[in-house]
Chain A
């Protein structure tokens, strides 16, 4: 048994790849069986991940979720800031400059407006729940943008781990409600053509949420929404810890 455990501990990153792979496989199956593909497998996998992190934290009393178990410590490296930023930058590859121009003024504006709107909405809600410091407000506001922008902003401005976890939760809630809610609100907001789909992708930004939500609405809209949504997290990572945080700090004073 000890030898078994030490093999896992010595190969912790490899264990993490296998664990996440198993989690995604299970999530994909749950997505097809329980939600008929309505809720994307990746969203279910993230939900399961947060659930396991809760369980790990409760059981060990540590701060790193499931990675507090030594055999799962590789998850800390795999999901740590270094590889996370590496993968985020990689997603920018293949973005065609001609398509950027085609998205045009409304697409570009929708991304900026979307980041600012989500940031303000999230920060206002956080303020209602008693947060007064600029660091926590900016992190939760950024989390309301996407579950990537939250941790990136939180790490940059030095937020506590629990506030970062809250920002991930807010971003995840957004991703899930966008996926489930898009077909319901599509008729109300005129989401029936490529142009509005691009505006929608830029305003909501959560790539898995937008891609899943648009697929459930009209799959022909997916590439248009995904095109602008792809930029959202990058713009959010650019603005969150900089302009938005500095502005917020000037307003609430520290």
Chain B
């Protein structure tokens, strides 16, 4: 049943959020510490285990996949409800922060990719593949 998937997702989020709250109390910050992250890990482990036992049929998976597909639309709704009017006063900062993150991340790619041996480049695209792309 589709709802089982939605319910499994809900339980994972609730339990993860509770763990995050408890961890926040434990480390002494007035914050939810990684609740969403714990919920994600839990969902991966629980669904993997259930699939292995054949207890997570296609219909149940659809309940989770629907919300996964709603991720981008929800992010768009989130963007449309932010306090942008107040934020534009710091415009150049957002651009610089974004660019700095790209530059710093990209600069590390060659070093990280070398860990565990270098890899061969892919062969050039054939004319047929180019037309498909």
Contact = CB atoms under 8 A, between A and B. Distances in A.
A122 B32 contact: no
B106 A65 contact: no
A109 to B, nearest CB: 6
B10 A86 contact: yes
Contacts, number: 345
Given A57-B85, A118-B101, A193-B121, 8 more contacts: A46-B75, A79-B81, A93-B43, A104-B116, A105-B116, A147-B75, A171-B98, A245-B31
Interface residues of B, number: 85
Interface in A8-62: 16-17, 19-21, 23-24, 42, 45-46, 49-54, 56-58
Contacts of A42: 72, 75-76
A193 B48 contact: no
Contacts of A168: 78-79, 82
Contact of B75 (A84, A176, A218, A220): A84
B48 A218 contact: no
A72 to B, nearest CB: 8
Given A65-B84, A66-B80, A90 B65 contact: yes
B40 A92 contact: yes
Q: How large is the interface on A (under 10, 10 to 19, 20 to 34, 35 or more residues)?
A: 35 or more
B12 A89 contact: yes
Contacts of A113: 108, 112
A161 B83 contact: yes
Given A118-B101, A124-B100, A242-B34, A162 B95 contact: no
Interface string B7-36: 001101100110010011001011111111
A185 B38 CA distance: 34
A54 B87 CA distance: 9
B128 interface: no
B84 A203 contact: no
Interface centre among A42, A120, A168, A175, by most B CB within 10 Å? A168
A203 B106 contact: yes
A164 B87 CA distance: 9
Contacts of A122: 97, 100-101
Contacts of B24: 156
A173 B72 contact: no
A79 B76 CA distance: 7
A242 B94 contact: no
Contacts of A83: 70, 74
B54 interface: no
Contact of B71 (A50, A90, A114, A172): A90
Contacts of B66: 90
A189 B109 contact: yes
Nearest to A118: B101
A204 B56 CA distance: 33
B110 A196 contact: yes
23 contacts: A45-B72, A45-B76, A64-B81, A65-B84, A86-B13, A89-B13, A92-B40, A93-B9, A93-B43, A95-B44, A109-B115, A117-B101, A118-B104, A121-B101, A121-B104, A125-B100, A161-B83, A166-B93, A173-B99, A199-B108, A199-B113, A220-B125, A238-B34
B82 A125 contact: no
Interface string A65-107: 1110000100110111001111111111111010000001110
Interface in B49-90: 61, 64-68, 70-88, 90
A203 B108 contact: yes
A69 to B, nearest CB: 11
Contacts of B47: 93
